[in-house]
Amino acid sequence: MNLIFFDLPSHRSHLKPFTLTRPVAAIRTGIFTLGEKWQRRLSPWYEVEATSHFTEDYLAVRYPVRTGEDNLLVNAAVCPNDDLVSAVASLGQDQVLVQHQQMIAARVPGSVMRQFTTSGYEAGASQLLATIASFSQRDYSANITRINHLWDIFLQNGEQISQDFSLITQDSKSYDIGDSHTIFYGNPQDIFIEEGASIRASVLNAESGPIYIGKHATIHENAVIKGPMALMEGSHINAGSKIREATTIGPNSKMGGEVKNVVVLGNSNKGHEGFLGNSVVGEWCNFGADTNNSNLKNNYQPVKLWNYGTRGFENTGELFCGLMMGDHSKCGINTMFNTGTVVGVSANIFGAGYQKKFIPSFTWGGSEESTTYRLEKALEVARNVLHRKGLTLAEADSDILKYIFENRRYETENAS
């Protein structure tokens, strides 16, 4: 079976800035990315030969679509569960599973897929959807978790950690850290530690949800962790940190201070004191010391958040909503982010006072004065950041950043 994650155009625009640099299925919520969830749950049903993404053309060099003779096309924004996967696995050729007329998954022959994917996403996505609409339809009536909006990433995170925890720990044994000074609360089965992890004189409380500690992750002295929480491979929680419920710290990241209901996609650092809550942070981001964000308005009204699709502020309906920071963005010491702030890609933010609630990609400066971050300097910083971790900025990733830079005007043009 050839598994293809399909970025519905309606979802992509509403999930920017994170989908500026990745397809929808590469977004992490819970322990896994959306794509990893599908791969794991489908494995008992299919031998998946390959996975790929049908996404925007400028991302295709980094995330190319690969078609086979038998293709399972999955709506990348849908979080799978066992019942849903069972329904998807029972699809026959030229059949589509839908809910409220929206595609969940479809079984598409290679000739149909190639007809539309070879012309690219912009030309082929809507035509492919129209063709799938003519397939034999099967309705799915049970509840589905979708990541339709930015705030869904952190709102669903606690529940997704719990669901992913049962997948990743099945038929596995937790590693013994051998530290008598670390205190565990809750059911021991709800705390799982991978081999090579290190925990010293900390508190892990799984009474309200499971705690997952990835391979070679480190929890330093006097940290307090409350589940549900996931610390992914190679990441650090610094000494004295307070990591509250529904938080995921993606691979190779550092986290310090007070954090609540936050998703860090990976490779990002907030190593110092300061509060971060009800937020999502992309990759290769860095927070200066004592950076704080507000996640609740003083008047207790629902938070409005910038929407790239409508180019205006959208009412989230949520009282708690903090910071959405795109890949490669960074902020200086003592930065203050207002309630419901969206930061694009490769922004360098500094200066006194609260920052603006929408900061476009490649912004240099802050609320008092800002200009455009020079592309060659932004790329130089990106190369330096990756070099520190023994990595090289791939040409495909560099081209993506260049595309975003050249088209950044569309982030604010015709704002509603």
Query: How far apart, in whole angstroms, are the C-alpha atoms of residue 245 and residue 229?
Result: 6
Please report which confidence band the pLDDT of residue 413 belongs to, taking 50, 70 and 90 as the band edges: confident
CA distance 1 to 50: 8
Q: Model confidence over 118-137: pLDDT tens digits?
A: 999 999 999 999 999 999 99
pLDDT at 409: 85
The model scores a pTM over 0.75: yes
328-347 pLDDT, tens digit per residue, is 999 999 999 999 999 999 99
Measured distance CA(223)–CA(207) in Å, rounded: 17
Residue 146, beta-bridge partner list: 78
Q: Domain for residue 198, yes or no?
A: yes
Whole-number Å distance between alpha carbons of 250 and 372: 29
Q: Do 234 and 356 reside in the same domain of the chain?
A: yes
Q: Are 218 and 346 contained in the same domain?
A: yes
| Contact (CB, 8 A) for 259 and 273 | no
∠ CA 106-111-116, nearest 5°, is 75
Are 117 and 203 in a shared domain?
no
Q: Do 133 and 159 fall within a single domain?
A: no
Continuous H helices in 301-389: 375-388
Q: What pLDDT is stored for residue 412 in this prediction?
A: 76
Which neighbouring-strand residues pair with 54?
6
> What CATH number is given to the structural domain containing 346?
2.160.10.10
One domain for residues 280 and 406: yes
| Same-domain pairing of 169 and 123 | no
Residue 6, domain extent: 2-148
- At which of 93, 128, 148 does a domain end? 148
Assigned domain for 7 exists:
yes
Domains held by the chain: number:
2
Calculate mean pLDDT across residues 308-320: 95
pLDDT score recorded for residue 374: 95
AA identity, residue 160: Q
Asked if the structure places residue 251 within a domain, the reply is yes
Q: At residue 91, does pLDDT exceed 50?
A: yes
Rounded Cα–Cα distance for residues 414 and 416 (Å): 6
Same domain assignment for residues 179 and 86: no
Tell me if 239 is assigned to some domain. yes
Last residue of a domain, one of 126, 148, 170: 148
Beta-bridge mates of residue 4: 52, 73
Q: Please state the φ and ψ torsions of residue 32, each to the nearest 5 degrees.
A: -105, 165
414 pLDDT above the threshold of 90: no
Query: pLDDT per residue over 241-291, tens digit each?
Result: 999 999 999 999 999 999 999 999 999 999 999 999 999 999 999 999 999
Residue type, 104: I
Cα 107 from chain centroid?
26
Helix locations, 342-410, DSSP H? 375-388, 395-406
Nearest to 252 by CA among 211, 296, 217: 217
* pLDDT reported for residue 220: 98
Confidence band for 368, pLDDT divided at 50, 70 and 90: confident
Residues 138 and 215 reside in one and the same domain: no
Last residue of a domain, one of 95, 126, 148: 148
Please say if the pLDDT value at position 367 is more than 90: no
How high is the mean pLDDT of the chain? 95
The 10s digit of each residue's pLDDT in 31-46 is: 999 999 999 999 889 8
pLDDT value, residue 416: 41
- Residue type (1 letter), 60: A
Statement to judge: residues 286 and 388 lie in one domain: yes
**CATH code of 44's domain:** 3.90.550.30
| Domain co-membership, 136 together with 177 | no
Question: In the chain, how long is the greatest CA-to-CA distance?
Answer: 62
Q: What percent of the chain has pLDDT over 70?
A: 99
Instruction: Give per-residue burial for 31-67: e unless 16+ CB within 10 Å, then b.
Output: bbbbbbbbbbbbeeebeeeebbbbbbebbbebbebbb
Same domain for 47 and 174: no
Residue 231 shares a structural domain with residue 245: yes
**Residue 415 in this model has a pLDDT that exceeds 70:** no
Each residue's pLDDT tens digit, 132-171: 999 999 999 999 999 999 999 999 999 999 999 999 999 8
- Structure confidence by residue, pLDDT tens digits, 190-200: 999 999 999 99
pLDDT score, position 50: 75
416 is a domain residue = no
